[in-house]
Amino acid sequence: MTRLDLLVLKAGRARDYGFGTKSSAATFRFVKRAFADVATAIAYQSGRPVVFSIAAIIIVTWAITGPIFHFSDTWQLIINTGTTIITFLMVFVIQNTQNRDGAAIQAKLDELIRVSAARNSLIGIETLTQDEIAEIRAACAARAKKTTQRADRKAAAGEALSQPAVKRPQAARHSNQTSEERRGRSS
């Protein structure tokens, strides 16, 4: 066992990392789990105010040292290289975190659809193309519109049956009439 294996075993995560078998699948699971753990930790830490403050201090320090180094090419190269490397790596970390969050949300939505009266055919549509999803959304919007219209008609029919001779007040014909003028006309 390597030193890394021992550290992982001591951390109590051996089962999560797939130890116990000497296959490439176990190694792959280890790498995936380790990357997910590191990406989660980095994403969490990078969103904290203290990390932003440290980054701001680094930038201010770099700017202050400009006159000391006569704004040389090396001075500029330091910040350019540092920010490029950090940005490049953060793209992968953030994308990994968003992919996992999206998959977790999708699994939760699928479970809600499965246990509700919703159509089970909607489970797994996140793997379809944009055009296929647009067609499904249009069909759902059309069904929602029909349902709303049907409910409005039922409400109107029920209202007409339950209150046959009730007159509703009419809106004023002239918006500049006062309420007293309208009452004077109706009496």
Give 20-60 pLDDT, tens digit per residue: 555 788 888 888 888 888 888 888 888 899 999 999 999 99
Looking at residue 137, its pLDDT comes to 84
Which parts of 43-162 are beta strand (E)?
A: none
Residue 82 in tokens: 């540092």
Given phi > 0 = left and psi -120 to 50 = alpha, else beta, which region is 70? left
Residue 111 in tokens: 């479970």
Cα distance between residue 54 and residue 86, in whole Å: 14
pTM of the model: 0.50
More confident residue, 121 or 81: 81
Give, as one character, the DSSP assignment of residue 21: -
